[in-house]
Chains A and B, each alone.
Chain A
Amino acid sequence: MDFTGAYAPSHLTFLLEGFLVTLQVAFLSIVFSFTIAIIVGVLRYAKIPGVSQVLGTIVELIRNLPLLLIIFFTYFALPEVGIKLDKFWAAVLALVIFEAAMLSEIVRSGLTSVEKGQIEAARSSGLNYVQTLWHVVLPQALRRMVPPIVSQFISLLKDTSLAVVIALPELMNHAQIINGRNVNYVIPTFLMVAVMYFVVNYALSVVSKRLENKHA
């Protein structure tokens, strides 16, 4: 068996092209889902009657569904009700829906972890509720949220690989194309792909651990 052909330069660049798409999908999903998560997390924390309950229920439902199902949904089911997205944006939308729910839960529990005394002190020094939230609670909560948020980002980067089911040309899809050329390429290609994911994610987790120790 000849494994060496799997690591031909053309294959490596093809995999890296796929990885670039993976990173693009992940980056956009992180930006959008984090923005939504902060809004949802704050709204739930603020305990606005009705709003908190409705958002809480939606978050709970999404968190308990497989991401794969949501990807199928955004790509295959939404066109049936007139919303047609291409592969790239269907994948981003699915990831945003799923990750925003996961992250909003982290934001909410981060906010809850800020001591009540802080809020009382801020309010009694004359800050209104929004100012208290913005200047006192949120900055402290965000710092505590860093480790779980980074792990969620790692999950997100890994989860982009599920978009292989809608043939989005990301890393896993490109790996499968190379695998299709020669059965001897399968294992070395998967190993290469694993190393690519590992390097980025492990670096992220090391950074997260550093930050955790700094704030502990």
Chain B
Amino acid sequence: MIDFSILFDHMDMYLKGFWNTLQASLLALVGSFVLGTLFAIFRISPIRPLKWIATAYIEFVRNIPLILVVFLFFVGLPAIGIILEPFIAGTLGLTVYTAAFIAETIRAGIQAIPKGQTEAARSSGLTYGQTMRYIILPQAIKVVIPPMGNQFINLVKNSSVLGVIAGLDLMYYGDLISADTFVTFDVYIFVAVFYLILTLPLSAFVSYLERRLAGSR
């Protein structure tokens, strides 16, 4: 049977890890949303060099593993003299990686808005920037919310990679507890429960939004 004393005796460690996982996820979410939006706009912009840079970034990052990106920040940067704390290196890696996926999500959302909207806005005298800001983005956001929710769920799960580089997250503390107690099975079951506390409500909310928004368009 599952031994609950593992949970109660190490509650402070579980909670510390849970809190750091939440922090890393939120920081990476905000960062990758900003970066991702920027790349999405670059990718569909008429300015060629911006388009190329954004396309290269998105296609490259989407096709390489997350752990490689995190290692680049954690092991690669020190090789050229820049040393970051594991939590920061991990969160930065997570941000840079997720930004590529968010950029694609947002681009798909923007392209779902009929072209006539842009043409109408441009011919009523709005600049490209204004058209984006006042006409296209507000509509695109609605299309983009459910897939963005899925990206956030992935982000929470992906943050476990911080555990590999001693990033003080849930996965890391799980490893510490199992090294302390020589118990692995029960320790990981409780780690799983803590992840599910974050991801299950999110995923229920995303399917609710999907059903709601499916009817409204």
Interface residues of A, Cβ cutoff 8 Å to B: 60-61, 63-69, 72-73, 76-78, 80-81, 154, 158-162, 164-165, 172, 176, 179, 183-184, 186-187, 190, 193-194, 197-198, 201-202, 205
Contact = CB atoms under 8 A, between A and B. Distances in A.
A158 B66 contact: yes
Interface residues of B, number: 39
B128 to A, nearest CB: 27
A187 B64 CA distance: 15
A190 B76 CA distance: 8
A161 B65 contact: yes
A66 B63 contact: no
Contacts of B183: 80
A201 B64 CA distance: 8
B161 A68 contact: yes
Nearest to B79: A186
Nearest to A201: B63
Given A158-B65, A190-B68, A190-B71, A69 B188 contact: yes
A159 B188 contact: no
A122 B163 CA distance: 52
B203 A66 contact: no
B159 to A, nearest CB: 8
Given A64-B196, A69-B174, A80-B184, 20 more contacts: A64-B199, A66-B160, A66-B171, A68-B161, A69-B171, A69-B191, A72-B175, A76-B178, A76-B188, A154-B63, A158-B65, A158-B66, A160-B65, A161-B67, A184-B79, A187-B76, A190-B75, A194-B64, A197-B63, A205-B63
Contacts of B79: 183-184, 186-187
Given A64-B196, A81-B185, A187 B80 contact: yes
Contacts of A65: 157, 192, 195-196, 199
Contact of A63 (B71, B174, B178, B203): B203
17 contacts: A64-B157, A65-B196, A67-B157, A69-B174, A69-B191, A77-B184, A78-B185, A158-B63, A158-B65, A160-B65, A172-B67, A176-B71, A190-B72, A190-B75, A194-B68, A197-B64, A202-B63
A99 to B, nearest CB: 14
A195 to B, nearest CB: 9
Nearest to B201: A64
List the 6 shortest-distance A-B pairs measured between CB atoms, nearest first. A66-B160, A201-B63, A161-B65, A64-B199, A186-B79, A158-B65
A115 B190 CA distance: 42
